[in-house]
Amino acid sequence: MKSFKISTSSPEETMNFSANLANKLQPGDVITLEGDLGAGKTTFTKGLARGLNIKRTVNSPTFTIVKEYEGDLPLYHIDAYRLEHNEEDLGFDEYFEGDGIVVVEWAKFIADYLPEERLNIEITYQEQDGRIIELLPQGQRFEKMCRELTE
Ligand code: ADP
Ligand code: MG
């Protein structure tokens, strides 16, 4: 599997990157975000929201599983953390095959429901304001997108 890495040195830089990514996305696109607490998953999502012209403030979804935001396209922010031991299908297909962009945190807890074609992203803390953003596209369309974003 191809992997693309970029480094950012401020939250603003991370948000600029994800705002650019947002402009390349289509309805039904799924992005998974991995990274430790404080790595920048929510910051990345805020940039996506900015790219989609979403006016509301994006926060960590912590107490709700899915948060919806309206913009040029809807953004569905899913936090699967509390679904670790959940066995039932909560109807995620509606989001994954839907009209908006889907961002999933703790995607491993709903791995069975994720579409095969998606963009996996891992953010790693460097020091202070430095972060490595690794893009792990699944499928040719996402691979092309990642190449364009990193060249
Ligand atoms: P997570 O959702 O992964 O727990 P957050 O996005 O909530 O992480 O927090 C990341 C924190 O790190 C924020 O306070 C953000 O301002 C800060 N930060 C510093 N440098 C960066 C960077 N290069 N990219 C993203 N966030 C950064
Ligand atoms: Mg968060």
CATH number at residue 27: 3.40.50.300
For the segment 41-62, the average pLDDT, to the nearest whole number, is 93
pLDDT value of residue 83? 86
Whose alpha carbon is nearest atom 11 of ligand 1? 38
Q: Which residues pair with 132 in a beta bridge?
A: 7, 124
Q: Kindly indicate the confidence band of residue 97, based on its pLDDT and cuts at 50, 70 and 90.
A: confident
The overall average pLDDT reported for the chain is: 93
Atom of ligand 1 nearest to the CA of 105: 2
Q: Can you say how many angstroms the Cα of residue 134 is from the centroid of all Cα atoms in its chain? A: 12
- Supply the range of the domain harboring residue 22: 4-150
Number of structural domains found in the chain: 1
Tell whether the model's pLDDT for residue 4 goes beyond 90: yes
Q: Does ipTM top 0.85? A: yes
* Ligand 1 pocket, mutate which of 43, 121, 125 (most atoms under 8 A from CB): 43
Transcribe 32-73 into DSSP letters. EEE--TTSSHHHHHHHHHHHTT--SPP---TTSSEEEE-SSS
Tell whether the model's pLDDT for residue 126 goes beyond 90: yes
Q: Kindly indicate the confidence band of residue 90, based on its pLDDT and cuts at 50, 70 and 90.
A: confident
pTM across the whole model: 0.95
Instruction: Name the least confident of 24-28, 86-90, 110-114.
Output: 86-90
Tell whether the model's pLDDT for residue 93 goes beyond 90: no
Whose alpha carbon is nearest atom 6 of ligand 1? 40
Q: At what angle do helices 41-51 and 11-22 cross, to 10 degrees?
A: 50
Question: What distances in angstroms separate CA 2 from CA 26, 78, 106, 147, one per listed residue?
Answer: 21, 25, 22, 10
CB atoms within 10 A of CB 62: 12
List ligand 1's pocket residues with C-beta within 6 A.
8-11, 13-14, 35, 37-43, 60, 129, 131
